[in-house]
């Protein structure tokens, strides 16, 4: 680790407390000038510090630089998970899948400030501009049944919703299967990709890719995109640290995945889900259907009641409201 990385790690680890230049120099066994130069280099790289004479340095609450050190400093437990952060990458899911196929372990997280080819569900692209979003992919290797593996995406949606709600204090809804909504606008999408072992008919690994619009996207999203999607800051008026959010999601994901076999997250998922109770259209087995969404079953499938009273359980795909009902406002 070079001086720059050591200085950042030490300041990040001291959280809201100030760390003096002298203390830093002594702890790292370097000169105060070397510490000062490291701080200047970090500032030039986009990190924001509060520097107060007589007290020292700390990470500024306004800092918007995404970094592995800052994510690690926000984790609740002293985990040794691998955290890799890119300024720019094609897709964090692509990179995570490559690492997973090479044997990388459970818990590894890849995050990026920007994706040049972010991928969404159903072959769509996911717009991932710099400085505003959190794009992260987590490799998991849980020892769970194939039935439980099918619940990973909905489980992750609950984890991300809980994490965000805790930080911004506003209700976060889920739209089946795995979109997070705030005030009727999409603020987050999730793409889970899995590899099954044919030998053991079990899950080898899954990559959970989460893309959240965190800071204001006004002037960045096209007017077409702004009709359906927004950011947490624009909807809740709260600026959240992307590093903190990433750490919080990782913690909640661990907790939620623990209980996935017993479907512990389902109650929360049902409570948040916004299609339930509304007339929707969906594609099911190549056919377009319209009906009333009446609930979520134990496989996290959407139950749709058709006009003739028959019911269909949709396990994947996409459904949209025919009539808008915003759970946040009732």
Residues near ligand BTN (CB under 6 A):
91-93, 115, 118-121, 124, 126, 135-137, 179, 189-191, 209-211
Smaller CB distance to ligand BTN: residue 148 or 249?
Answer: 249
Chain centroid offset of residue 154 CA: 13
Q: Alpha-carbon distance 330 to 328, whole Å?
A: 6
Sign of the CA dihedral with 309 first, then 313, 319, and 323 last: positive
Please report how close the Cβ of residue 240 comes to ligand BTN at its closest, in angstroms: 17
To ligand BTN, the closest distance from the beta carbon of 89 in angstroms equals 9
Closer Cβ to ligand BTN, 9 or 175, answer by number = 175
Minimum CB distance to ligand BTN, residue 207 (Å):
8
Nearer CB in complex with ligand BTN: 197/320: 320
Which residue is nearest to ligand BTN, using beta carbons?
189
Evaluated on CA atoms 257, 231, 193, 147, the torsion sign reads positive
Q: Which two tokens stand for residue 266?
A: 């389902």
Q: From the CB of 318, what's the least distance to ligand BTN, in Å?
A: 9
DSSP per residue over 226-271, as a string?
HHHB--HHHHH-----HHHHHHHHHHHHHHHHHTTTTTTTHHHHHH
Q: Which residue's CB is nearer to ligand BTN, number 19 or number 180?
A: 180
Give the residue with the Cβ less far from ligand BTN, 136 or 164.
136
- Nearest approach in angstroms of CB 222 to ligand BTN is 16
Rg, Å, the chain Cα set = 22
Instruction: Determine the distance from the C-alpha atom of residue 300 to the mean position of all C-alpha atoms in its chain, rounded to a whole number.
Output: 20
């Amino acid at each position: 680790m070079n001086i720059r990385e050591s200085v950042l790690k030490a300041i990040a680890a001291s959280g809201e407390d100030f760390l003096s230049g002298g203390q830093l120099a002594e702890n790292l066994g370097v000169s105060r000038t070397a510490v000062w130069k490291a701080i200047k280099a970090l500032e030039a790289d986009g990190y924001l510090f509060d520097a107060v004479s007589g007290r020292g340095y700390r990470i500024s609450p306004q800092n918007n630089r995404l970094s592995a050190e800052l994510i690690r400093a926000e984790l609740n437990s002293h985990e040794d998970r691998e955290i890799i952060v890119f300024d720019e990458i094609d897709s964090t899911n692509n990179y995570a899948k490559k690492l997973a196929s090479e044997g990388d372990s459970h818990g590894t997280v890849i995050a990026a400030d920007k994706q040049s080819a972010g991928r969404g569900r159903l072959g769509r692209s996911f717009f991932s501009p710099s400085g505003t979003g959190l794009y992260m992919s987590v490799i998991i290797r849980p020892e769970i049944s194939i039935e439980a593996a099918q619940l990973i995406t909905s489980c992750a949606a609950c984890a991300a919703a809980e994490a965000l709600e805790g930080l911004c204090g506003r209700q976060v809804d889920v739209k089946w299967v795995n979109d997070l909504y705030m005030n009727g606008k999409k603020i987050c999408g999730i793409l889970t990709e899995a590899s099954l072992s044919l030998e053991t008919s079990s899950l080898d690994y899954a990559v959970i890719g989460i893309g959240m619009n965190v800071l204001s996207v006004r002037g960045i999203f096209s007017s077409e995109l702004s009709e359906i999607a927004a950011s947490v800051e624009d909807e809740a008026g709260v600026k959240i640290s992307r590093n903190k959010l990433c750490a919080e999601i990782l913690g909640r994901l661990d907790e939620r995945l623990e209980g996935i076999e017993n479907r512990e997250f389902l109650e929360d998922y049902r409570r948040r889900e916004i299609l339930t109770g509304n007339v929707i259209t969906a594609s099911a087995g190549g056919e377009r259907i319209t009906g009333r969404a009446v609930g979520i079953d134990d496989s996290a499938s959407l139950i749709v009641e058709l006009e003739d009273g028959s019911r269909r359980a949709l396990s994947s795909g996409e459904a949209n409201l025919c009539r808008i009902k915003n759970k946040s406002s009732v």
